[in-house]
Structure 1
C-alpha cells in the first residue's frame, strides 16, 4: 500500500471499529448457534408422563447446563436452581419460596445441573413437578429411561390426563412419550388414546405404553392397545428370562420387569421394583439411545419429527428414519427366549414354543437389541425377516387393534 493511501485507510478502519457491520451486513447468520448445536452433539428427548420426579436425587444430577437454544426450543419459562446440600426435606424447604411455590400450570421449568425440564399442565397437585412424598412412581419411571440412555434429555410431564400427554405431543423437540398408567385389568374404557394418537399419527412421535399388571390381553387397553402405540409387557430379564405371569398378554414386545431404580423421597437411595410401569420406560430409553446413535452417525443435531424435519425422527445426511421404520426395526430385533430356562419356582410363565406371540408379542427387548437395531437402520447389517408364523400372528394383532381403535 502506498504511503499516501495509508492515512485514509487508517481513518476508515477507525470509523468502522465504532460502527457494527461496516464491512458486511449486521444480520445474525446463525453460525454461532450452529457451532453451539454442533458442540452439544446429537441428543434425544424422552417425555415420561407420570406422578412427578425427584429432581434432588443423585441419579439425575449432572455437572452441566443445557444450552439456551435447546431450552428455548423446549419452551422453558422458568429456571429453578436446586439446593445441593442437606436431606430431601431440607432441600425442598430451602427451594420452596423461589421454586416450588411459584410454579404454575403454564410454566415449563428447567433444573440446571440436570437434563430435566418439567411441567404440570393439570395444576391439581400440591407440589408441581416434584414427586409426591407418598408416591414415587414417576421418579422410578424416569430412572428406567436413563438406565438405558443416560444422556437422554427428559421432558417430564406430571399428570395422567389427555392434557398431560398433549403437553408432550405438541412439543416439537420430543421424540418419545412413555406412559405407565391405565385402567386396572385393561378393562375396555376410554383413556389417553386420543392424545397418544395426536402424538404419533399427527406429530410422528413414538409412544411406548404399558400393558396392565395382569395377564389380560393388551389389545383393548387404552394405553398399550391402540395400533399407533407400542404396547409393552414384562419378562424376567437376567432371571429365568420367561414371561412375567402378571403382565399383559399379546402386546407388541416384553421388556425388563424388575429393576433397581431411584427413590422419590431421599437424595441417593434405590429400591427394587417390578411391573410393566418400568419395562415400558426402559424400552423408551433403548429407542432413545438408538436415535441418538443414528443422529450422531448422520450429523443430525436436532430432535423430534416435526414438519421442519420432514416428519423424520432421524433427518441427517443420507439417512432419514421415520416412526414406522424405527418400529419395524424394533419388531425385527425382538426375540423369544428358550422355555428351557424356566424356573417353576420363579412365578413366571414359560414362553411357549407354539405361538409365543400371544404371550410376548414380537418377543423380548433389552440392551442387546441396541446394536442390531442401530446397524439395521444405519444400513450396516440388515436383520433377517421374522418367521412367517410370527408375522401372521402379529399382523392379526395389528388388525384387531385397528378394528377396535381405528387406524
Structure 2
C-alpha cells in the first residue's frame, strides 16, 4: 500500500488515544506466560505484540516471528528455559540477518541448549528447553538491551534466580530499568547496581493487575508534527505518566528545544507549539533512546535545522540499517547527511523537494518519521501499511489531525 500525503498548512487540534507500549507489553506477555495469573490492561495492538501472543500460545515446533526483533530475543530466552520443549525460532529474511549470537552465548553459559539451523550467529535457531545449571552470566555491557532484558524476564522462574554481570559501559539503561520496574510491578525483586543485575527467584502465584502505559515512541511522531506546525497548534494524546518507565519520554526535554511544550492533565498530555526560536544541543546523545533518532532527524530537516546525533550504534541492526536508510531518503528530499557507525550529521536545508517517494525498507519507523513532512511539502510513503508493526492506527489518527492522505 503506497500513500500520498498532500501538503497541508496547519493541523486540526484533536485528542488521540495511543495504543499501549509495545516494549512494555512484550515484557509483560513473557511474565504472564511464566505467571499465568498476571492480568495486563491496555495491551499494545501492534503486529509485534500479536506475534508474541501467538507464539506464546503455540504448541508448534516451528515458530515464525516475521520481522519482530523483540519477540525473537525474548522468546529465545523463554523457550530456552522451558524444560522439555523443543522449538525452532525463525523469521523474515531480514530477521535472519540480525545477530542473535550474544544472547545465545549468554544462555549457553547458563547451560541452555541452542544451535543454529543455518548461519552461525543468526536465526533460525533450534532450542531444546532445559533447566539452567548456573545462575550467573557475563556479557558485554554495550550490547542491545533486549538481550539483557530477555535474561532478566526469565530469571525469577529459575530455581536460584540470576546474576547478570555487565562488562564495560552500559547502553540503553532506561530499557533495563523498564524491565526491572515491570518485574517489581508484578512482585519480582531485583536490583541493578555497579553493572550487576540481580533477580531473585520467585515461585509464588503472582496475580497482579498491570496497566501498560501508552507508547512514547509513537508519541514522537506527534511531537514532530507539532514542531513543524504553527504557533499555538496543539495535539492531545493519552495515556502517559509523568514518571514513565520508557526512555523515549526524553522527548519532553528534546522537543522543548524545538519549540514544543508538554503539559500533563492526569495521564493526558497536550503538545503545543510555543516558539519558533529553536535549537538543538550539538552532539545530542541518543544512546538511551535510539528509537526516536529517525523522528528527530526528520523534524530537524523539516525545520531547516542542522543536527548532530550520537549513540546510534544499535540502529545498524534494526528492521533495516536505519542510518543508511535515513541518509538515502533525506538526500532524496534535498538534504545533506553524513553518517558513521554510530552518528548522524544533518546539514541545514532551505527547501524540501515535492512529491518524493519515501522508501520504508520494511521499517515502521521510516514510514511514520517522514509523514510529518507533509506540513512542508507533498510526499509519497511506500508500503505504508508497515506501520502496523507498532502503530496500526497511525494513518487514521493523522487524518483526525487534518492530514490529507490519498
- TM-score, normalising length from structure 2? 0.26
- TM-score, normalising length from structure 1? 0.26
Greater Rg, structure 1 or structure 2? 1
Which one has a larger percent strand, Structure 1 or Structure 2?
2
